[in-house]
Structure 1
Amino acid sequence: MKVLVAGSSGGIGAAIADKLRADGDYVLTISRFGEPSSSHLVCDLTKPESVDQVSKFLADRGPVDAVFCCTGILHGGWNMPEKSLLQLTSEWLQQNMLVNVQSHIHLAQAIAPQVKRTAPIKWVSLSAMVGSIEDNALGGWYSYRMSKAALNMFIRNLSIEWGRKAPGSVVVAQHPGTTDTGLSEPFQSGVAKGKLYSREQTASRLIVVMKKLSEKEHGKLLYWDGSVIVF
């Protein structure tokens, strides 16, 4: 299987790429870091020019069978998730939308010409349960929640378009579960015992679900085990 992993320098993305290679799959990777190679593209998917960069990178490598888009942001040295409305700023909201949504859009735009009836695709965007409107009973985390809800809507739209264009394609958003990475580190003390997963465990679970994706999951937000989360 030929699989593209975007955000491969992050904890989950790197673990997915490593596991796929160990399983014998052919892996292409994209991230902002690392050394360029025949299988790795260095680019920033938040930037519009990344669409052409990815398109050119894939041009001589043929269509991919599956994509994991693992790009995302929850906090930074300059900002943490908001606890109240008055902490919400336009700058941080825009940054969340740029990384958590626009990067996925740019990647899909680059891959879109390869998606055909003769070349259906499996697409997995890492999202989050906190992006579910129905599941939100706690509030807070305004920018992150809104950006993940927007990502989920993008995935639903993309699933409809690619489902018509290339029947057999399966496009989903997926919540990976709380994983021991830099993204979750500031919040791990509040995670219930047994609910903080290793990168390797998360990667294995996501790959198992990806390889079994079928029409019944198309356009859905999934939990790490493949069960459906309400939007």
Structure 2
Amino acid sequence: MQHAETPPPQCILLAGASGGLGQALLQTLHSQYPDAVLLTISRHDIDLLGDTHQHCTAELEDPGSVAVVNGWLAERPVPNWVVVCCGILHWDKHGPEKNLRQCNDDTLMRSVTVNVLTHLHLAQALDPYLKRRSPLTWASLSAKVGSIEDNHLGGWYSYRMSKAALNMLVRNLSIEWGRKVDACRVVAVHPGTTDTPLSEPFQENIPADKLYTPTQSAERIVTVLQQLQEEDHGKLLFWDGSPIPW
């Protein structure tokens, strides 16, 4: 990816800010853009990082959050950057399915709700405020396992299916918002395996140099956003900015 001289964001919106990677992104964005208005959303309250930081506590899984977040955004600047970290891989006694026998409707719907609907609801809340001449960069954190073409191992049904659906949402947003906003970059980003509770049960067989700290992943994601090119719009990108096939 070639470096692009893009103006620094004046307002950044980070959703899923209370998670492991979300917290690291919050610190990284605040450090690199201390003068930007920093808007965060999560299901839990978080400590504010200064006068430019404003927080909204909302359950983006809930369709009612669209109206809540929409009303909150009405009194704030239109974000130039939006980063959505919401996602889930395992919970309680549920882990990724290895075969069809382990699949059930409830776990699939839970995966779709957290991995897709949270991103959709935020997009619906933000959409009315987008302006043609106000640059927009949107990044949904996705996963390489959501790539249909890259899937050679199978398994992980619910997670793969939900991430593939998220990738399609991102693609659709890139088309609709690309018609609506002049300088628009909408992408999905695979952050790599990051040392957070999401990946913790699956780290045993990962080489040490392939398991990244939250700070490493956060800094890489921000670098990808800084260097986005016009041809990256509507694509799934690796943490180094290279494209991953859908």
Structure 1: runs of 5+ lacking an equivalent: none
C-alpha displacement of 1:120: 2.8
Residue 35 of structure 1 deviates from its aligned partner by: 5.2
Q: After the TM superposition, which residues 35-54 of structure 1 pair with which residues of structure 2 at under 5 Å, given as runs?
A: 39-54=54-69
* Residues 62, 26 of structure 1: alpha-carbon distance in 2 compared, 3 angstrom cutoff: closer
Count of matched residue positions in the alignment of Structure 1 and Structure 2: 231
Q: Which amino acid aligns with 2:245?
A: V
Aligned positions of 1:23-42 closer than 5 A: 23=32, 24=34, 25-34=36-45, 39-42=54-57
Distance 1:4 1:199 in 2: 19
**Structure 1 residues 1-231: aligned runs within 5 Å:** 1=9, 2-23=11-32, 24=34, 25-34=36-45, 39-231=54-246
Q: Distance in 1 between matches of 2:112 and 2:208?
A: 31
Unaligned 5+ runs, structure 2: 1-8
Percentage of matched positions with identical amino acids: 52
Cα offsets for 1:42-98 (capped at 9, x unmatched): 010010111111111111112001000000000001310001101000000000000
- Superposed CA RMSD in Å reads 1.2
TM-score normalised according to structure 1 size: 0.97
CA distance in 2, matches of 1:142, 1:89: 10
- Which whole-Å CA distance do the structure 1 matches of 2:74 and 2:217 have between them? 31
Greater than 6 Å deviation, 4+ residue runs: none
Quote how far apart the aligned CAs of 1:27 are.
Answer: 1.4
CA distance in 1, matches of 2:87, 2:31: 25
Give the superposition deviation at 1:36.
Answer: 8.8
Q: Provide the secondary structure at the position in 2 that maps to 1:194.
A: helix
State whether residues 36 and 42 of structure 1, in contact with CA within 8 Å, keep that contact through their aligned partners in structure 2: no
